[in-house]
Amino acid sequence: MLPQEIIRQKRDGGRLAAADITDFVRGLTDGRVTEGQAAAFAMAVYFQGLEMEERVALTRAMTQSGTVMEWRSQNLPGPILDKHSTGGVGDKVSLLLAPLVAACGGFVPMLSGRGLGHTGGTFDKMESIPGYVVQPDLERLRQVVREVGCAVIGATSDLAPADRRLYSIRDVTATVESIDLITASILSKKLAAGLDGLVMDVKFGSGAFMAKYDDAQALARSIASVARGAGLPTVSLLTDMNEVLGTTAGNAVEVAECVAILKGEAPEARLWDVTRELTAELVLLGKLATDLDEARAKVDRALADGSAADRFSRMVTALGGPADFLERSDTYLAAAPVVRDIHAAEAGTVTAVDTRAVGIAVVALGGGRTRPQDGVDHRVGFTGIVGLGDQVDPAGRPLARVHAATEADADAAVAALRQAFTLGAGPATRGPTVTERILG
C-alpha cells in the first residue's frame, strides 16, 4: 500500500493491517516515506489512536528496523534483564539497579538516554566518570555484559533506527504525547536489546513527564500489555515524582550519591524504595527468586555484602573508567568552583515541591539540555535537597546546596530553588513511593 493510503486509512479512523504498518516503518528506515508523510502519520495516530494489535505491530516493525541483539550464543548462565524509566528529577535508580541485578544473577545491557527538558539522563551521569566509554560498539557491550554482568551505556544508532527518525519528527510536530507512539518508541529499543524481562518505572507528579496519575497509569498499562503481546515479559510500576528522588540532582553529584550508597551509606528512603522494588521485580521476572519477598531479600543482601558495589566497580573499569573509581570517586568526579547553601527566606515545613522547577534549575545551571545537540556541565547541580515534611530555617537547615560554574549562576539557582519549595506550619502529606503494580 502507498504511504499516503496508510495515512488516509488511519486519518479516517480505520484499522491498519500489520503488513501495512510494517511496510510504512520500512519506508521510514529506507527513506521511501518522506518527513511530511511521517508527520501526517504521527498526527493521524495522535488523534485516532491505535488498537492493541496495531500497537504491537508498530512496536515489532520498529524493533526489526535495525540490529536485534541475541544473547544465546554468549551462553550466559542467567536471564537478560533491563529497566526503563519515563524520567524524573534526581532519578539515579539505573546506577544502582544494574549492579544489583547483576549481583543477583541477572545480566543487564542497559541502554540509556541523554537528558532532555527538565529530566536528567543516565547517559550524562555515566559520562561524568573520566574515561568511561558511554557508547561502545556492540561487541564490547556483549563482552562487558558477559564478564561483569551489567553495562550502563548510551543507545546505539544500530537499534530501532525507524524510531529515531519518527521521534525526531514527533518532537517538532506536537505529537510526542501520544501513548501509542510512546509505547512503541520505548519498547522497540528494549525488544531490540534481546531482553528476557523488562520492568517499567512510570512516574507521575510535579516532576514527571506525565504529571497526571491517570495519564501515567494509561501509559503503564499500554507498555505492559504491548510488551507482553510482543513476547517480552514486563511489569510496570507507578512511582511518585512529587519531590526529588534522593538528595541530589545533577550529573556528577548523582553519581557521587550512588557511590556512597554502594559503599554502605544509608540511602534516602524514597530512592531505596523505588530501586528495591524495581530490582526485585526484575529478579522475579528472571526467575532468580520464587516470589517478591525472596527477591527483595536477595536485593538487600547484594547491597549489604558489597557484591553490587563490586559489579559497579568492575563495570566502570571494563568500560574505560578508573580502576579505583569506587574508592576514590571524589578525586575523579569534577567539582564545581562555586558551592553555596540555599537557605529559605523563613522557617517552616516543606509542604509542596515544584519538582519540575528543580529540574529546570539544574538545566539553567548547565547540567541539562533543551536541545539534543547541547552540551552539559557535569559538575553542576544540587545536593542535600530537602523533601516533603522536612523543616528548614534561615539560620539552620538549608533547602539544598548549589554547585555552580559562576557566582551569577549560583544567584539564579538560589532564587529558583526558593520559588520551587512551599513552606507551611503544619505537617506535609506524603503518599507511598510505589503506588501500583501493573501486569500486561
**Catalytic machinery residues:** 82-85, 122, 170, 185, 189-190
Helix locations, 92-212, DSSP H: 93-103, 122-127, 138-148, 161-170, 179-192
Strand-by-strand arrangement of the 381-383 sheet: 249-250, 381-383, 400-404, 338-342
Query: CB neighbours of 280 closer than 8 A, spacing ≥ 6?
Result: 289, 292, 295, 296, 298, 299
According to the CATH classification, is domain 335-424 in 3.90.1170.30? yes
The domains of the chain are located at 3-63, 72-329, 335-424
DSSP label of 363:
I
CATH architecture of the domain with range 72-329: 3-Layer(aba) Sandwich (3.40)
Predicted pLDDT of residue 260:
98
Measured CA to CA, the distance from residue 260 to residue 237 in angstroms comes to 26
How many alpha carbons fall within 13 Å on the CB side of residue 386? Answer: 28
From first to last of its 440 residues, what are the pLDDT tens digits of the chain? 799 999 999 999 999 999 999 999 999 999 999 999 999 999 999 999 999 999 999 999 999 999 999 999 999 999 999 999 998 999 999 999 999 999 999 999 998 877 667 877 898 999 999 999 999 998 999 999 999 999 999 877 788 999 989 988 887 888 888 999 999 999 999 999 999 999 999 999 999 989 999 999 999 999 999 999 999 999 999 999 999 999 999 999 999 999 999 999 999 999 999 999 999 999 999 999 999 999 999 999 999 999 999 999 999 999 999 999 999 999 999 999 999 999 999 999 999 999 999 999 999 999 987 666 678 999 999 999 999 999 999 999 999 999 999 999 999 999 999 999 999 987 888 899 999 999 97
Contact 202, 223 (CB under 8 A): yes
CA distance linking residue 400 with residue 391, whole number of Å: 12
Looking at residue 121, its pLDDT comes to 84
Helices (H) and strands (E) in the chain, counts: 17, 13
**What letters, b where the CB count within 10 A reaches 16 and e where it falls short, cover 330-343?**
eebbeebebebebb
The confidence score (pLDDT) of residue 133 equals: 96
CA–CA separation, 426 vs 216, rounded Å?
A: 30
Long-range contacts of 299-307 (CB under 8 A, 24+ apart): 299/100, 299/104, 300/276, 302/100, 302/103, 302/104, 303/100, 303/261, 303/262, 306/264, 307/103
Residue 72 DSSP code: G
CA atoms within 13 A on the CB side of 369: 15
* Tally of CA atoms within 13 A in the half-sphere of 419 that contains its CB: 12
pLDDT of residue 10: 97
Q: What are phi and psi of 367, to 5 degrees?
A: -85, 0
User: 272 forms bridges with which residues in the sheet?
Assistant: none
List the one residue out of 113, 185, 186, 189 whose CA is nearest residue 376.
Answer: 113
May I ask the CATH class of domain 3-63?
A: mainly alpha
Report the C-alpha gap between 113 and 153 in whole angstroms: 8
Fold match between domain 3-63 and domain 72-329: no
- State pTM to two decimals: 0.94
